[in-house]
Amino acid sequence: MTINDTDNWVDRLAQSIPTGNLIVAPNRRPSYALIAVDSDPTAEIGKAGGGQNVYVRELGLGLARRGCQVDIFTRREHPEQEEIVENSPGCRTIRLTAGPAEFIDRDKLFEYLPAFIDAWWVFQLKSARNYTLIHSNYWLSGWVGLQLKSHLGIPQVHTYHSIGVVKYQGMAKPPAIAVTRHLVETACLTSTDCVISTSPQEVADLRQLISDRGRVRVIPYAINTSHFGSIARTVAREHLKIANDEKLILYVGRFDRRKGIETLIKACATLTKPFRLYLVGGDRTSREECQERQRIQHLVTELGLEDATVFVGQVAQTELPFYYAAANVCVIPSDREPFGLVALEAMAAGTPVIASIVGGLKYTVIHRETGMLIPPNEPTALAAAITEVFDARRC
């Protein structure tokens, strides 16, 4: 696939509404409610959701540029967070209070969704805005969207971002919420007006594991190519205070076992030094991520990579392009990945990509054309691929 600019991506999304086009009334400014319960679009990179937050934000901004009024509804996670944030003219983030104003793990959020809907109605009545479309993101928001759709009688578009039955495959003990999630995801496929799928692999999973009913259209993610592709490597390294001759391996994403960071660390342990490994991302408010980060830190120490590894932490969107541009190679070693937005961002920066041949990455990365694909959970294969990139770039 090619790296599509976000404007073209939004155009394709707009054409997926059953009415034919999002912008339908010449004398009326369309108003859309994007539901993203667990994906605050203003969050910095590394927060839970990662690419999902970026997807929601870029969609909202893109629709606003087309003259739409867009409200992105998410959940307040801190008492000091503002209720309304103006993202751009015509696009704002609305934080609703649903349960305690603190981070709550996704698997425990379902019980707070009725309160989210109550808060949504209060805001809607207060603002007197009549929405013409609901776009829900992830299964939690899908449930919210289905309730609003039944009351408002307006179209609902849904994006899964991940599918529960795929996520829980191989788990000895799936979480208690797994059954509820499956029922909601089935309803999202069969009862919404259109499902936006990000890859052919996701369509196959939906049809084989969820239902053969429902309208699905494949529209891969896109990124702002000018945002990620405008920085020269020398400029990026000077900005980050990295030597020009240093071999730099980059990982961007959450600390999650399914992201394959352990595989990357083990691969790096077999590489010839010197090199540096930059791990960008990680949500310190998440207990699970903190535990995984500590496990990875112990592994780094155990394998003697302390001097070579930098735990960067969360990075602002304005800073992220510098890391992509500075890297010699960006590695996405995931065990599973619905799409792989990081791959597109690295490609836009002109940085070689090495990714696991799983999920949407099989379509995002074309082997030896737009990057390299390797089997997941194989440190030896990953190390060989990194070495090949280093040698090819004469680092």
Mean pLDDT taken over the chain: 90
Q: How far apart, in whole angstroms, are the C-alpha atoms of residue 314 and residue 198?
A: 25
Domain that holds residue 353: 231-392
Among the candidates 183, 218, 253, a domain finishes at: 218
Non-local CB neighbours of 48 within 8 Å, separated by 6+ positions = 38, 103, 106, 254, 283, 286, 289
Model pTM score: 0.80
Count structural domains, the chain.
2
- Secondary structure (DSSP) of 53-112: HHHHHHHHHHHHHTT-EEEEEEE--STTS-SEEEEETTEEEEEEP-SSSS---GGG-GGG
Query: Could you read off the pLDDT of 197-216 as tens digits, one per residue?
Result: 988 999 999 999 999 999 99
Residue 1 resides in a domain: no
The C-alpha angle with vertex 157 and arms to 156 and 160, in degrees rounded to 5, equals 130
Residue 268 or 14, more confident: 268
For the stretch 363-377, pLDDT in tens is: 889 999 889 999 999
If asked whether residues 166 and 236 sit together in one domain, one would say no
Q: The CATH number of the domain where 185 resides is what?
A: 3.40.50.2000
Same domain, 59 and 83: yes
Residue that the structure tokens 């069969």 belong to: 190
For residue range 20-73, list pLDDT tens digits in order. Answer: 434 344 456 789 999 999 999 988 655 545 778 888 998 999 899 989 999 999
**Do the beta carbons of residue 160 and residue 195 sit within 8 Å?**
yes
Q: Bridge partners of 371?
A: 367
**Distance (Å, rounded) from C-alpha 299 to C-alpha 296?**
5
| 170 and 247 together in one domain | no
Q: Which of 46-55, 168-177, 338-347 has the lowest mean pLDDT?
A: 46-55
Looking at the structure, tell me whether residues 114 and 243 fall in a common domain: no
Residues 68 and 119 in one domain: yes
pLDDT of res. 267:
98
